Structure 1
Amino acid sequence: MSHPALAPLGAAIVLALALPAHAQTAPAGATDLDAVIVTGTRATDRTALESTSPIDVLTAEDIRKAGVLNGELGSALQALLPSLNFPRQSNSGGADHVRAAQLRGLSPNQVLVLVNGKRRHTSALVNTDSKIGKGNTPVDFNAIPVSAIKRIEVLRDGAGAQYGSDAVAGVINVILNDAPEGGAFEASYGAHHTKVEPIDRTVTDGQSGFFSAQVGDRIGDGGFFRVGLEYKQREGTNRAGFDQIPFFEEQTPDNLALAGQRNYVLGDGSSRDINAWLNAAVRLGESAEFYAFGTYHQSDTEGANYFRYPDGVANWKQVYPNGYRPISEGDKLDLAGVAGVRGQWGDWDYDASLNHGRNAFTYRLRNSLNASLGPTSPTRFKTGDYESGQTLVNLDISRVFGAHTFATGVEFRHETFDTGAGDPASYAAGPYTDRPTGSQAGGGLTPQDTADLDRDVSSVYASLSSQWGEKFTTDIAARYEHYDDFGGELTGKLAARYELAPAFALRGSVSNNFRAPSLSQIGFESTSTGYDASGQLTQGRLLSVNNPIARALGAQDLDPETSLNLSLGFTSRIGEHFDVSLDVFRIDIDDRVALTERIGGDALTDFVLDTFGVPGVQSANFFINAADTRTEGAELVANWRQVLGEGNLLLTGAYSYAKTELKNIAATPAELLAIDPGYVLFGVEESNTLTDAAPRTRATFTASWDTTQWSLLGRVSRHGSAKRVFNFGGGFEPEQTYGAEWQLDAEVEYRVSPKWSVALGGLNLTDEYPDLSSADISYFGNLPYDVLSPIGSNGAYYYTRVRYTF
């Protein structure tokens, strides 16, 4: 471990001694440390404290009491797991509709998500205008119903050899409720009530409602089914400041008359979601069962975009005499289903399954305009259709040989990614050649932009989990995975735990992992009209690496990402009151895939026109193997339990540190320098995305006290600092570090009867906000808060909840 990791390690030890901190299991306060885990090992009798790699276990009760904002699973995971970041982005294109989660500060596509141990599909929408998760198609955590969850196991370690590609940062395994009887109804309502400093007003907005129902019953001898339904609705929030009118806009009387008004929106868009889920199993004779589970998600969401001024080239005053602000609309459908048979065949256990997932997203704009079409332009557009799919066939077999569990299996996976063109008016170049073409705030995908990609992935694996006497355990795994577009890769993992004393054990692991570029990173293209980082209106293209224009700018075929993960830690359990674990890690990733800087200016426009006859390309970017990176960090979790009065007191806390540094950054190719010696392929803005945009540190301390009637919970979180860097061109590269923020959450729940309970709670009760952005970054006062801090920019949130169980 290199020297920079020693500081967080020391801080973690100090925190462990100063606070009765956090458990190796759930950072929110799971109460059963002896629950058997199913993630990260094939052994059937391991608990979280006995695991060879760090695993968090979150119970359904933990998630329910996380103060879930409008039933968002991602928000609950961020509250409970300091190593997970789930920022609330705004004015960020597709990220306003599908939020991305990071584990250990790495990219969202470097964490593998499972449901009941089966690989979950990703979203279809490519986030190209976001900061966190830029260029990713992440798993949509909010498409997984929170009411369906029995527990979540989070493996914080590389696990490609065990579960396949993408498991670089770790694995999040969502395990569905399988209770064979009973049910529950739950309803909650909440809103933000906050002092908005930039406008010196107290506002109430973001009203949200959530309702869920579930029921289960037995089927025959040993079978069950359980079904559930959720409905969520949220109104938008706005933390925009007063407009100072950008200096590069026309300084006309009509434009200047808007100064001092709130012309922009910064915050959550409104949304409506419907979720449904099923989990079932039926016995097949004495030694087998058929099982099936699935989720359904449909949502309508809105996103914010920059304002267009009355006397600007993007407007016709006959249509919008006072200017306009386009609103993006997302129509999302997410389906997942798994069916299989598992059982015993002699001394062997087997599990054969068919798994299919699909995500479809239609992107629309309203209150927009294609200025090149003139005053008769439509104001509503469909800008594109996105769809991704995944179909898997698995066969896993395992057998216990004394103190050893051997497992092997094969998997075939078929992946698809498709995009469809938008309305012709969304990308048309009309007769008004002095005006920008395409619908404002995201031009439609053209027929030339559309993608239709698929690939096949085959893999075979073997693992051995062993108990060597009473003190030493090991997990060994190897997997060979073959992509029909990238060839084969062999990955392996060795993890071990040694109990030095009854109350103290050491553990460590080494693994190599593999992630092929996603189909969207290979073939996605788009044409857009919008505002660049400096606020200037531009027409740009995101090009696939196979596009001739991209090739002429220096694009090359993408290579897979490969990583080496190292982890070393200890666990300790002292009596029935205290347990603690501390793990330090290093993750070296070669050939990180990322987007280039936006390459723009007259030199690019002239080059593309002269070479390819394509006019009006003012900026372009594409995916590259941007850099090798090293991420180092430390994670502390501990827990203290105590009987207090008539109830049980649980004090928990957690600390996470992760620092990413760039090594071997991709050089600017000669082709690009020949166009303009000032061009940079991968510079300060996109480097910032990979390194400093996410907080390096997060910590939580939680106290809960439960009796038969009362449940009290308080949680203090510290979100570390984050850094924003812009490249506005001409050498102007403003940056700002947003300081650490403290957040206080609390909840009181009273059980009126064994079946009824009511709760009152609040998130961010002290109404904290990130630092105000500097004048160089706040876009002329309109966007006073950045989207980087996990505390968000919505302020205090208060809620009430009613629950009925039977």
Structure 2
Amino acid sequence: MIRYLILFLLLITGSASAQRITGKVLDSNNKPVAGASIVASPSGNGATSKEDGTFELTLADQDKHFIVSSIGFETYTQLRKTSGDYNIILQSSLHNLNEVVLVGSRSSGRTRLNTVAPIDVFNISSLQTQSPQNDLNQLLQYVSPSFNSNRQSSSDGSEHIDPASIRGLGPDQLLVLVNGKRRHTTSLVNNQGTVGNGSVGTDLNAIPASAIKRIEVLRDGASAQYGSDAIAGVINIVLKQNTHQLFVSATGGATSRGDGGLGQLNLNYGTGLGKQGGYLNITAEGSYRDKTTRAQNNNLIIFDQSSLNNYFAYDFTDDPAASRKYDDDMLKQKGLKRNDFNFQIGDAKIKNGSTFFNLSLPFKNGKSEFYSFGGYNYRQGEGFGFRRLPSDATVNVYSIYPDGFQPTTDSRIHDRSIVVGLKQKLGRWNADLSNTLGDNRFDYQVDHTVNASLQDASPTHFKAGGHEFLQNTTNFDVSRYFDNVAAGLNLAFGAEFRLDDYRIRAGEEASWKNYALVDNGDGTFSNPSGLAGGSQSFPGFSPDNAIHKSRSNTGIYADAELDVTSKWLISGATRLENYSDFGTAFSGKLATRYKISHIFNVRGAFSNGFRAPSLHQQYFSYISTDILPDNTLGQSGFFTNGSPVAKALGIPELKQETSLNYSLGFTAQPAKNFNVSVDGYLTEIKNRIVLTGSFGYDPEGNPVDAIQNIINPLGANSARFFSNGVDTRTVGIDVVADYNIQSGAHGFDASLGLNYNKNTITGTHVPAALKGQEQIFFSPNDSILITEGTPRIKANLSLTYSYKKFSVLLRNVYFGEVSRNSFPFGEVQIHKGKVVTDLSLSYNIKPVTFTIGANNLLDVFPDKQVYDNSYFGVFKYASVQMGTLGSFYFARVTLNLPTR
């Protein structure tokens, strides 16, 4: 109504400087698009297309362009021209065949079917409307076959920041960009035996999905183009730029078991700035996700201390039946049940709030542009540690918790980023100077727990310290396109200076100290009471762990793309980087693409890459409670490579990982509405950084006195380190096919993606001093996480049917088999492949869309763990493949409203 009123007033005033234009909005099949919004910029004059797609609009004198948008289609920007009649063709937002991509090339105008390396493009706006998934990791998990991320349980910080990877490689071998600028990693080291063990990744969920226009996934090594961390590939997140558009989405849902309740609110708004086509796009997002419980009765001793004998399960007592009867009698006496002593196993409780902005201010001269983007994310999580049962007096204070306790590990995560930059045209050259600042701070609190060594004086809440990582990156990039060199040459070069800063903060004293230790007077300590110190389930960081380290990196690069002919493209890049802490690395890339015909392209690439050891991997140290190799709970220590313990065991200093990447494939578009791409790849990594096993025990789980004598005085029962321990080879193939058809009011879209991926370990680097302890240096548990921790085959088939105001999404994702090893007491278990089905139904009454549906409609779970791998029945499922959520039902209301 407001738009029509404004248009009416403009018409009757007959402004001499206004221009009245007409036009028609069509889809890619030349069918009319009714109800499309047409908004002039910067005046904000608006109109709506009629049933036959026609529209009329008055442009003010200052208007430079107008924007056409409609739900289900990509937003289109039309520059003003002298004639007054326009024919607008909108492309479906479900497919981006001809969308120009930004990642993998510094030349403009490349579409994903014409690049030299495989690139996936995902439109987040349409996914966010129809898909059952609600955070960025899970959205990508269900649409990208080469992407893997699943939630972890009972894994300290990894419960709160989900590790993510592509092609089965490590989270720290994937580089994340936002609008083409390097995104900082988290401060968290994954160290609890999850996929990506020992790695440091990027928290994708810190970026609100409603701020994102699309995501580009470059599935190829790109260290020469973008620097360290790009061994596996690059994810580029392109933020929204739309103006005069309000997007609101509200989602609620829960699992079929009544837990895991979700509430989420997304807000996005864009407005024009100035008269040169500037914009400000802002986003706010808040969500609450409740915990899930996937527990079962276990075989752990609840009350009976007489038969415990340093073991926790009935399996090891002299008389299991008598111990169980004793517990059953105690349960009856207390009016309790075995279910009351189950562990809390499942997804953590998460509260998440984010805000983001994207700003552009072109200068009046038309040659300069100031830009800025960034945001803030705050996350508060509640994860769950191992339950402390009343049978173990060494970890309990009976006056506080007479029946034991279920401790929680709570997170307070602050993630901040801001980018400022200036683009300038210098003749025919384009220059870009920018600075990117990012910071991730992770603080721990431990609740519902005790420091047993304090006994009655123990608090039940502890501030356990935390870690923080800050990165500041300054870039200067210059590029130019030469249209008179062969069929076209794009030349780019630039420099980068980066500062990394990492710190660990100690927790309060009671969170880490053992007050039961007695000084023996000879430099050693003993613990005659046997009481455990520190906050149970997550001891705090001690002053010995506290550290503050930084380093700098300087890099220069050159990048060229030459169209030798209209059919043949050659691309090359080189990069030289120098790190202040370990030295210099050189990388290069050569790629080509040839158009055999107008429907068929072949492409291939070769590159070498590198990844510098992160500051986290060099300086992280910590002693925590874990399941030790003798199958008891104890203190497992992580020590730096420069520590006396590491030197005593012959653990060398860390050096960079290096890689060789090969890819070969083709793209075909036999019809306008059908395309397919097939790409094979091979990635070889030398000196891959991994976590060692727990030194202090032999392969059968028996203590090794010589090592115990070194680490016991440091409060640890076992010791782990980072090491350039293995060489790996990754070989696989990606297949992506899209088909869409529009017939009258009927629309059908089909998308098929398949990834076959095989990881193998081709060599190990065991220090001479540790020969004979190969299974400890790199244990079978960690080995299988690399080789079979992610699905060897993952396939996605998405079908979307629309009719007038209705739309149905049916998606099946096949998660191939994975394996887990619980060496030395468990066994290798193969978890069979499973198919997860998503279904959603949408109804659109412009500008509102109502959606209901389900993720994992058929309630599919991973295979139950065999008993020997379940820690005596505690863990019913492993956190593999699709995770342990089960069926999740949701309802969503989306408002997409032009505001002027």
Question: TM-score scaled by structure 2?
Answer: 0.82
Q: What amino acid is aligned across from residue 209 of structure 1 in structure 2? A: G
- Structure 2 match to 1:242: 297
Which of residues 379, 394, 404 in structure 1 aligns to 2:475? Answer: 394
- The equivalent of 1:740 in structure 2 is 833
How far residue 669 of structure 1 moved from its aligned partner, in angstroms, is 3.8
Shift in alpha-carbon separation, 1:533–1:29, aligned structure 2, 3 A: farther
Match of 2:723 among 587, 607, 624: 624
- Distance in 1 (alpha carbons) for counterparts of 2:353 and 2:339: 39
SS of equivalent to 1:49 = coil
SS in 1 for 2:352: strand
Letter of the structure 2 residue corresponding to residue 421 of structure 1 = A
Cα RMSD (Å) of the superposition? 1.9
Equivalent in the alignment of 1:11: none
Query: Are the aligned partners of 1:608 and 1:617 in contact in 2 as well (CA < 8 Å)?
Result: no
Find the residue that maps to 1:426 and give its secondary structure: helix
Percent sequence identity over matched residues? 35
Unaligned runs of 5+ residues in structure 1 are 1-27, 194-202
**Which residue pairs with 2:410 in the alignment?**
329
Deviates more, 1:547-556 or 1:243-252: 243-252
2:372 corresponds to 1:318: no
Distance of aligned partners of 1:354 and 1:384 in 2 relative to their CA distance in 1, 3 Å threshold:
same
Following superposition of structure 1 onto structure 2, how do residues 615-654 of structure 1 map, counting pairs within 5 Å?
A: 616-654=715-753
Correspondence 1:90-105 to 2 at 5 A: 90-105=153-168
1:31 alignment partner, one of 80, 89, 95: 95
Write the mapping of 1:344-423 to structure 2, written as runs, cut at 5 A.
Answer: 344-402=425-483, 403-423=488-508
Question: What's the secondary structure of 2:713's corresponding residue?
Answer: coil
- What residue identity is the alignment partner of 1:208? L
For residues 250-265 of structure 1, what are the structure 2 equivalents within 5 Å? 251=323, 253-254=326-327, 257=331, 259=338, 261=340, 263-265=342-344
Alignment pair present for 1:213 and 2:267: yes
* Alpha-carbon distance between aligned partners in 2 of 1:170 and 1:758, rounded to the nearest angstrom: 36
Amino acid in structure 2 at the alignment position of 1:115: V
Q: Quote how far apart the aligned CAs of 1:694 are.
A: 1.2
Q: What letter matches 1:76 in structure 2?
A: L
CA shift, 1:657, in A, is 1.1
- Residue type of the partner of 1:744? T
Match of residue 47 from structure 1: 111
Q: How many angstroms does 1:262 deviate by?
A: 5.0
Give the 3 Å change call, closer, same or farther, for CA 520–405 of structure 1 in structure 2: same
Residue 660 (str. 1) matches residue 759 (str. 2):
yes
Question: Does the 8 A contact of 1:110 with 1:515 survive in 2?
Answer: yes
1:248-287 paired onto structure 2 within 5 Å: 248-249=311-312, 251=323, 253-254=326-327, 257=331, 259=338, 261=340, 263-286=342-365, 287=367
Contact 2:696 2:707 in 1 (8 A): no
| Structure-1 residue corresponding to 2:597 | 501
Measure the CA separation in 1 of the matches of 2:281 and 2:481: 31
Matched, 1:468 2:564: yes
Aligned with 1:447: secondary structure?
coil
Alpha-carbon contact 2:176-2:234 (below 8 Å) kept? yes
Instruction: Quickly say closer, same or farther: Cα 1:727–1:375, change in 2 above 3 A.
Output: farther
1:304 aligns with 2:384: yes
Give the direction of change, closer, same or farther, for the CA distance of 1:514–1:278 in structure 2 (3 Å limit): same
Query: C-alpha separation between the residues in 2 aligned to 1:709 and 1:534?
Result: 62
Q: Distance in 2 between matches of 1:799 and 1:222?
A: 39
Instruction: Tell me if 1:600 matches 2:681.
Output: no
User: Is the aligned partner of 1:59 residue 2:123?
Assistant: yes
Q: Distance in 2 between matches of 1:205 and 1:487?
A: 51
1: CA distance, partners of 2:877 / 2:339: 17
C-alpha separation in 1, matches of 2:655 and 2:342: 44
Matched residues in 1 for 2:629 and 2:676: separation? 45
Partner amino acid, structure 1, of 2:750: L
C-alpha contact (below 8 Å) 2:132/2:855 kept by paired residues: no
Q: Output the amino acid matched with 2:812.
A: V
Q: Provide the residue aligned with 1:770 in structure 2.
A: 862
Tell me, which stretches of 5 or more residues in structure 2 are unaligned?
1-91, 302-307, 314-322, 332-336, 518-526
Tell me by how many angstroms 1:523 deviates. Answer: 0.6
Q: Which amino acid aligns with 1:643?
A: Q
User: 1:124, 1:388 within 8 Å by CA — same for their partners in 2?
Assistant: yes
Provide the secondary structure at the position in 2 that maps to 1:680: helix
Counterpart of 1:521 in 2: which secondary structure? Answer: helix
Q: 2:374 aligns with which of 280, 294, 307?
A: 294
- Evaluate the alpha carbon distance shift between residue 300 and residue 362 of structure 1 in structure 2; reply closer, same or farther with a 3 A threshold: same
Higher relative contact order (CA 8 A, sep 6+): 1
Taking structure 1 as reference, are residues 566 and 310 closer, same or farther at Cα in structure 2, changes over 3 Å only? same
1:32 Cα deviation after fit: 3.0
SS at match of 2:618: helix
Worse-matched range after superposition: 703-712 or 289-298? 703-712
Partner in structure 1 of residue 848 of structure 2: 756
User: Which segment is superposed worse, 767-776 or 531-540?
Assistant: 531-540
Q: Which moved more, 1:313-322 or 1:226-235?
A: 313-322
Provide the residue aligned with 2:71 in structure 1: none
Which secondary structure state, in structure 2, belongs to the residue aligned with residue 695 of structure 1?
coil
Cα distance in 2, alignment partners of residues 501 and 387 from structure 1: 53
**Residue by residue, what CA displacement relative to the aligned partner does 1:366-409 show, whole Å, maximum 9, x if unpaired?**
11122122232121112222100000111101001110000000
Give the corresponding residue for 1:138: 201
Listed one character per residue, the Cα deviations across residues 331-380 of structure 1 (whole Å, up to 9, x for unaligned) are 00000100000131101001100110000010111111221222321211
Is contact 1:95-1:130 (8 Å) kept?
no
Residues 585, 534 of structure 1: alpha-carbon distance in 2 compared, 3 angstrom cutoff: farther
Aligned to 1:691: 787
SS at match of 2:764: coil
Distance 2:389 2:207 in 1: 40
Larger Rg: 2
Contact 2:252 2:890 (8 Å CA) reproduced? yes
User: CA offsets, 1:313-341, max 9 Å, x none?
Assistant: 21122221111111110000000100000
Letter paired with 1:424? E
> Is contact 1:533-1:726 (8 Å) kept?
no
Kept after mapping to 1: 8 A contact 2:259/2:291: yes
TM-aligned CA distance change 1:260 to 1:32, over 3 Å: closer
Distance 2:339 2:553 in 1: 56
Change (3 A) 1:288 1:734: same
**CA, structure 1 residues 540+495, in 2 after alignment: closer, same or farther (shift >3 Å)?**
same
2:10 corresponds to: none
Which residue is 1:3 aligned to? none
Contact 1:374-1:430 at 8 Å conserved across structures: no
CA distance in 2, matches of 1:616, 1:35: 57
For 2:888, the equivalent position in structure 1 comes to: 797
Q: Which amino acid aligns with 2:675?
A: D
- Report the secondary structure of 1:162's partner residue: helix
- In 2, the alpha carbon distance for the partners of 1:306 and 1:581 equals 47
Distance across 2 between alignment mates of 1:733 and 1:778? 8
Is the deviation greater in 465-474 or in 107-116? 465-474
Distance 1:759 1:66, change over 3 A: closer
Q: 2:253 aligns with which of 190, 196, 202?
A: 190
2:35 aligned partner: none
Counterpart contact for 1:440–1:530, Cα < 8 Å: no
- What amino acid sits opposite 2:665 in the alignment? G
Change (3 A) 1:382 1:792: same
One-letter amino acid matched to 1:264? F
* Helix, strand or coil at the partner of 1:686: helix
Structure 1 counterpart of 2:25: none
Shift of 1:627: 0.6
The answer to whether the 8 A contact 2:819-2:829 is kept is yes
- Identify the match of residue 556 of structure 1 among 649, 652, 655: 652
1:328–1:366 contact (8 Å) kept in structure 2: yes
Call closer, same or farther: CA 1:66–1:473 in 2, change over 3 Å. farther
- Residue 570, structure 1, aligned to residue 666, structure 2: yes
How many residues end up aligned between the 2 structures? 761
Q: Aligned to 1:48, what secondary structure does the other structure show?
A: coil
User: Residue by residue, what CA displacement relative to the aligned partner does 1:647-688 show, whole Å, maximum 9, x if unpaired?
Assistant: 221111110011111012122542576xxx697311211111
